[in-house]
Amino acid sequence: MAEAKLIDGKAIAEALRRDIAGGAARFAAKAGRPAGLAVVLVGEDPASQVYVKSKARQTVEAGMRSIEHRLPADAAQGDLMALIARLNRDDAIDGILVQLPLPQSLDAGAVIEAIDPAKDVDGFHPVNAGRLMTGAPSLVPCTPLGCVLLAKSVSPSLRGLEAVVVGRSNIVGKPVAQLLLAEDCTVTIAHSRTRDLPDVVRRADLVVAAVGRPEMVRGDWIKPGAIVIDVGINRVAQDGGKGRLVGDVAFEEARSVAGAITPVPGGVGPMTIACLLRNTLEAAGRRTGIA
């Protein structure tokens, strides 16, 4: 079989950001202010600092306002809750994102529940999770949304496809399964306790791998012609270097079997922030009644 088509997440995210920039300019003209995204970073986690910087840059490039709040790693729960309450009340803030993971000493669940669901651009609040499950309009988690947009870039209708999601996290596995169900897929959620995982994955016309284990999904697990969306970003050691990034799928093996596959990096990763910008603009529109 011919090599799989590469799904270019970078290019698709760029096109999406251009679209959003148009919408953001129209919003700013009508509202008399740009859409605003507040990002809260607690502590000094280096990966989180990189993400937050990238989010801020892309927010501004899309014509929106970025507000960053940094708290020390030993910040008290009460300080963080007070900041969220202030951002909830601030009319010029349309989206609030608290970068995860939070330091161990903080209760992330309580922080997420404190965010106004109308400003919850991560889509992690139980109200948005519940709305997604019941099919009501909601803010949808960014990475899952990116996965579905990438799958639809090669197959505009996903109706009737057997989809297997590997991973059951609240951030990716569970919400991506809900989105695929809404696209009329037949959805299986597999996880670390699933029996005969390779055989389960072999049934899939569409595989979403979101387990955080480098190259766990092997080429001989993939049904010929399947669409493979790899959410994993794992740094693995490499002689003499600072390591290389690999996904949850053994890419070289899988690309000779799959019909289409996302690379790592350059697949799902770039879509996440683009979807965050989309959610921010959507939240701004809904809150203000400006379409």
Just list the catalytic residues: 55, 99, 122
Please tell me the distance from the alpha carbon of residue 75 to that of residue 71, in angstroms, as a whole number.
Answer: 6
- Closest CB to ligand GUN among 99 and 280? 99
Which CB sits closer to ligand GUN, 142 or 264? 142
* Residue 142 or 165 with smaller CB distance to ligand GUN: 142
CB of 46 to ligand GUN, least distance (A): 13
**53 residue type, one letter:** K
Q: Are strands 244-246 and 234-236 parallel, antiparallel or unpaired?
A: antiparallel
What is the closest distance, in whole angstroms, from the C-beta atom of residue 143 to ligand GUN in the complex? 6
Q: Which of 127, 116, 123 is nearest to 90 (CA)?
A: 116
Which two three-digit tokens encode residue 229? 């969306």
The residue at minimum Cβ distance from ligand GUN is 100
DSSP state of 40: E
Residue 112 beta carbon to ligand GUN: minimum distance, rounded to whole angstroms: 9
- Residues forming the site for ligand GUN (CB under 6 A): 97-100, 122, 142-143, 272
Q: How far is the CB of 97 from ligand GUN (least distance, A)?
A: 5
Strand partners for 42:
71
Query: For residues 44 and 63, what is the distance between their CA atoms, to the nearest angstrom?
Result: 27
Residue with smaller CB distance to ligand GUN, 70 or 218: 70
Query: Would the CA dihedral through 144, 149, 150, 151 be positive or negative?
Result: positive
**Which one, 128 or 255, has the nearer CB to ligand GUN?**
128
Cis upstream peptide for 265 (omega within 30°): yes
Q: How far is the CB of 225 from ligand GUN (least distance, A)?
A: 30
Q: How far is 208 from 28, CA to CA, in rounded Å?
A: 36
Q: How far is Cα 64 from Cα 226, in angstroms, rounded to an integer?
A: 38
